[in-house]
């Protein structure tokens, strides 16, 4: 299954810099933003939209228009930047996309050894989706 995503830009300043991502998955939409914005991490409820003819359309997780409805819901504070599709959503593809979007580009190559951090990053053998939500940019180790 392909997973659509959108880069969220902060509209509160003149720079409109990328601050997060919204990524669809089978169970809903993951919204990866700093906690200071107060936005729920996962959106998985129904969206009921009233049409001009007073008919109602219901969008549920997995429906083609569900990500679009979440983005409309987030428009109060965020503009939509780049959009795209991930072939698969794994912890690795999520981290790669996050680094690319939030730091301005992917990094690859050989890096000099550095002092170990006070709390070394040691990924678990199997990472579940909840672990994706709690990772912070500073916790991620860049590996060649």
123 belongs to a structural domain? yes
> Tell me, what's the pLDDT at 26?
84
> Tell me, what's the pLDDT at 104?
67
| 3-10/78-86 β-pairing | antiparallel
Alpha helices in 30-134 (DSSP H): 66-74, 91-103, 129-134
Is pLDDT above 90 for 130? no
CA separation for the pair 70, 49 (Å, rounded): 12
33 belongs to a structural domain? yes
Total domains present in the chain: 1
Average per-residue pLDDT for the chain: 79
Domain with 131, as residue range(s), is: 3-139
> Tell me, what's the pLDDT at 123?
46
- pLDDT tens digit string along 63-113? 989 999 999 999 989 999 999 999 999 999 999 999 998 886 544 444 455
pTM over 0.75? The answer is no
Other CB atoms within 10 A of residue 67 CB: 23
144 belongs to a structural domain? no
């Amino acid at each position: 299954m392909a997973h659509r995503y959108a880069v969220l830009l902060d509209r509160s300043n003149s720079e409109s810099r990328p601050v997060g991502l919204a990524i669809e998955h089978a169970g809903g939409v993951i919204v990866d933003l700093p906690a200071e914005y107060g936005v729920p991490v996962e959106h998985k409820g129904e969206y009921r939209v009233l049409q001009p003819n007073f008919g109602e359309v219901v969008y549920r997780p997995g429906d083609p228009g569900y990500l679009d409805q979440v983005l409309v819901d987030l428009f109060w504070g965020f503009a939509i930047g780049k959009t795209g599709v991930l072939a698969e959503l794994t912890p690795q593809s999520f981290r790669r996309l996050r680094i690319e979007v939030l730091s301005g580009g992917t990094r690859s190559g050989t890096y000099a050894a550095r002092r170990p951090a006070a709390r070394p990053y040691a990924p678990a053998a199997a990472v579940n989706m909840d672990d994706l939500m709690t990772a912070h940019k500073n916790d991620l180790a860049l590996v060649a």
